[in-house]
Amino acid sequence: MDERITALRERIDELNLELLSRLSERATIAEAIGRVQTELGLSHYDPVREQAMLETLVAANRGPFTDAAVKSLFKQVFQASMQLEQEQDKSRYLTSRRTHRSDTVVSVDGVPIGGDHSPVLIAGPCAIESREQLGAVAAFLASRGVRLLRGGAFKPRTDPYSFQGLGLEGLRLGRDACDAHGLAFVTEVMDAADVPACAEHADVLQVGARNMHNFTLLRKVAQSGRPVILKRGLAATIEEWVMAAEYLLSGGNTEVILCERGIRTFERFTRNTLDVSAVALVKLETHLPVLVDVTHSGGRPDLLVPLTKAGLAAGADGVMIEVHPNPAVALSDNKQQIDFEAFDAYLEATMYHELLSPGRTELYGA
């Protein structure tokens, strides 16, 4: 190598480092500006300011770069700074993995949900209908090693004349059945006014798909002191769903579990479309545990096993499924709930028969 080139290259290397150090200094200042803009609710993008800076630079340009080259170089610098400010914006979200790198594990009655723990199974009837009905399901599920019982006392029904749930009486029945069989009780809360009663009786509050956008309810549930299962809205984007979770976290509740329950699409052969990509995505973007509801998504008993496998393969931390002693006469979702025999077959066909702890056979021992 020619000595002159070597010497000049050395000088270039020095200048590179000098430029980097000045650019980093500039970026730090841009970040500080970004923080103030965020605080004031201002946009990070200010085209007038950008234009003014470019004009100043072009006016000061003495070559050898052309004005166009100078503009192009600095536009890159501006863009990199803006990206930095936007990243900073994102990291203020409590749901984001940028804020909280490790998986959140929500523990319900000693059952860990999320992280590296084995997938959980939440099962039970769509609605709590009577002491007998719930007692039978609770005894059966407990005998199979299920630890979390679901059951609605307040039911969000499309038809106002259909069964709306037993309300407060349903909450009492749910608590009693769970206490009798050592189960944790998961139930939906529909109205902010019912949060205290639901939190008193249940171990986990569920915010249903139809209420995902009910910010008043979310704020109240955030203050309930109970873990929350947040269902994705029927037509909610992933961002809207995560923002709803953000309401819960920013309201003071860190025990939030997301639940993908199928979204509305043009498809008619299934009740909803289980969005498996959403499961994978929220696992990447957030640190929260994620469930798949295989009953309300497909809406078909013959899809429960494949949807379970798909959901777990996509990274779900557990499954929610509806089980009823006699689905044909169920007061809600009677086409989708499965009976005890079908539930046993479901356990066999999925990994759950191995995961759920055996030895709870009192149903058959009795």
Contact set for ligand PEP, span 257-316 (CB under 6 A): 261, 293, 296
* Spatial separation of the C-alpha atoms in residues 199 and 227, rounded to whole Å: 9
Distance CA 222, CA 228 (A): 8
Backbone angles phi, psi at 336, to 5 degrees: -105, -25
CB of 296 to Mn ion, least distance (A): 6
Report the sign of the C-alpha dihedral through residues 198, 199, 201, 207, in that order.
positive
Block residue for tokens 């009740």: 271
Question: How many whole angstroms separate alpha carbon 236 and alpha carbon 41?
Answer: 25
Residue of the chain from 34, 125, 152, 170 that contacts ligand PEP (CB under 6 A): 152
The three-point CA angle 94-97-98 to 5° equals 85
Q: Segment contacting ligand PEP (CB under 6 A): 19-27, 29-37, 85-93, 204-212?
A: 204-212
- Residue 330 binding Mn ion, by CB under 5 A: no
Residue 341 Cβ vs ligand PEP, minimum distance, rounded to whole Å = 22
* Residue nearer to ligand PEP on the CB measure, 136 or 207: 207
H/E stretch holding 163 = none
Minimum distance from residue 215 beta carbon to Mn ion (Å): 24
Give me 324's structure tokens: 């009823």
129 touches Mn ion by CB under 5 A: no
CB of 150 to ligand PEP, least distance (A): 7
| Separation between Cα atoms, residue 353 and residue 350, nearest integer Å | 7
Task: Indicate the residue among 30 and 171 with the shorter CB distance to Mn ion.
Answer: 171
Residue nearer to Mn ion on the CB measure, 246 or 333: 333
Is 156 or 315 the residue whose CB approaches ligand PEP more closely?
156
333 contacts Mn ion (rule: CB under 5 A)? yes
**Which residue's CB is nearer to ligand PEP, number 58 or number 197?**
197
Task: Decide: 229 and 207 in contact? Cβ < 8 Å.
Answer: yes
Can you give the three-state secondary structure of 224-279, one letter per residue? CCCCEEEECCCCCCHHHHHHHHHHHHHCCCCCEEEEECCECCCCCCCCCECCHHHH
- Non-local (6+) Cβ contacts of 156 within 8 A are 188, 190, 208, 210, 211
Distance in Å, CB of 274 to Mn ion, minimum: 15
Q: Which of 112, 156, 299, 306 binds ligand PEP (CB under 6 A)?
A: 156
Q: What is the nearest approach in angstroms of Mn ion to the Cβ of residue 125?
A: 8
Instruction: Answer with the entry of ligand PEP, Mn ion, none that 188 interacts with (C-beta below 5 to 8 A by kind).
Output: ligand PEP
Within 290-329, the residues that bind Mn ion by CB under 5 A are none
Q: Which residues in this chain contact ligand PEP in the complex, by CB under 6 A? A: 126, 152, 156, 188, 208-210, 231, 261, 293, 296
Q: Which residues in this chain contact Mn ion in the complex, by CB under 5 A? A: 126, 333
